[in-house]
Amino acid sequence: MRRPGAGTLHHRVQTEQTTPDPEAAGAAEAGRDAGSTDPAGRAARRAVTVFPVLVLAAGALGLLVPGAFEGWGTNVPYLLGVVMFCMGLTMTPLDFQGVVKRPWVVALGLVAHYVIMPGLGWLIAHALDLSPQLAAGVILVGCAPSGTASNVVTYLARGDVALSVSVATVSTVLAPLVTPPLTLLLAGEFLPVDAGSMVTDILKTVLLPVAAGLVVRLCFGSYVDRVLGALPWLSAATVAVIVAVVVAGSAEAIKSAAALVLVAVVLHNGLGLALGYGAGKLARLGAPASRAMAFEVGMQNSGLAASLATAHFSPLAALPAAVFSVWHNVSGAVVAAWMSYRSRREG
């Protein structure tokens, strides 16, 4: 899903960059604005703060009144399509400009994302001896593309926003080619995986809506600009509904598995953030780019993971994605605040 609050922020960062050095462009803009009181900064803070609360409330609703969402499971792919269409509406050709300017850095981010998180999911599933359904769900989260609030959180952390946008965009475009075979390779030992059908689902629920949104933005940009501020909140509300449906579908199982799933999610996200940052440092990308790497590796498109798990496995397998959707936004905001504080002290 598109990062809540990232629509106007991402558009502003991309269109206002004037720094000649592309390596420093995103970091310079984020560094100036992350601690400011301008509208974009306030909007970003609100989004990062409100979104986890909204999703948590939706999860509680699904747990308390699961009957209210009975039969909604088949609508999850369509709901995800709405989120991805909103993502496409916030995109411009500038999103792909960073890929051309820094191909090896973006490639490093993609490799780190699609190696570290799937590998961690497999290791955690074995280390915690998760049931087949939960193991497949955790691995599927790891195999998903980058998403949710990664751009906004990178912005708040004074990271390289341009790099963050590039990695998130390309990882989403490549998802139909990468996510299904990775899931088959790593989760196939736990449950049967129909990789071909998964490719089709990702094309229909991710790539086509994103492409449609991008086309609409290119053709009717002046009209879309008027509603950009509303798009993040529409995405956030839609993801909240997805979480409510997923939780309602496995409400009984949550009572016995919630603690174990939370441990798995915290480990998955925390190690992903740390290893993503470490990959940036190891490659000597500099502090702003390393911060972006941390969030692009550690934060996943949990909406897609929940949709695929519901369609191909079971509501219980979608539970890790629902919990991840809440947790990685909370942890991301906390880590971003700490990184921003460190950056101001060192600067």
DSSP code string of 73-125: GGGHHHHHHHHHHHHHHT--GGGGHHHHHSHHHHHHHHHHHHHHHHHHHHHHH
User: What value does the mean pLDDT take over residues 260-272?
Assistant: 95
- Average pLDDT, rounded, for the chain: 81
Q: Taking the mean position of all CA atoms in its chain, how far away is CA 241?
A: 16
At 131 the pLDDT is 92
pLDDT value at 111 more than 90: yes
pLDDT digits (tens, 9 = 90+) for 28-69: 344 334 444 444 445 555 655 677 788 788 888 888 888 888
Count the neighbouring beta carbons within 10 Å of the beta carbon of residue 177: 13
Q: Which one has a higher pLDDT value, 207 or 113?
A: 113
How many structural domains does the chain have? 1
- Identify the domain containing residue 279 by its residue range: 6-346
At 282 the pLDDT is 95
At 347 the pLDDT is 62
3-class state of residue 38 by DSSP: coil
Question: How far is 151 from 166, CA to CA, in rounded Å?
Answer: 10
**Do 317 and 309 meet the contact criterion of CB atoms below 8 Å apart?**
yes
pLDDT digits (tens, 9 = 90+) for 213-236: 889 988 888 888 888 777 777 877
Tell me the pLDDT band of 27, cut-offs 50, 70 and 90: very low
**Helices marked H in the chain:** 6-16, 22-33, 39-64, 76-89, 97-101, 103-127, 132-143, 150-156, 161-187, 195-202, 208-219, 221-227, 231-249, 251-282, 287-298, 302-312, 319-346
Q: Is residue 1 part of a domain?
A: no
Q: Is residue 165 part of a domain?
A: yes
Count the neighbouring beta carbons within 10 Å of the beta carbon of residue 198: 21
State the CATH number of the domain containing residue 220: 1.20.1530.20
**Do 299 and 150 meet the contact criterion of CB atoms below 8 Å apart?**
yes
pLDDT digits (tens, 9 = 90+) for 113-134: 999 999 999 999 999 999 999 9
Question: How far is 272 from 293, CA to CA, in rounded Å?
Answer: 10
Tell me the pLDDT band of 17, cut-offs 50, 70 and 90: very low
Q: Is residue 199 part of a domain?
A: yes
User: What value does the mean pLDDT take over residues 265-290?
Assistant: 94
Question: How far is 327 from 302, CA to CA, in rounded Å?
Answer: 11
> Quick one: what percent of the chain has pLDDT higher than 90?
33
User: What value does the mean pLDDT take over residues 224-250?
Assistant: 81
Residue 207 is given by DSSP the state I
Q: Is residue 138 part of a domain?
A: yes
Q: Which one has a higher pLDDT value, 325 or 305?
A: 305
Q: Is residue 196 part of a domain?
A: yes
Q: Is residue 156 part of a domain?
A: yes
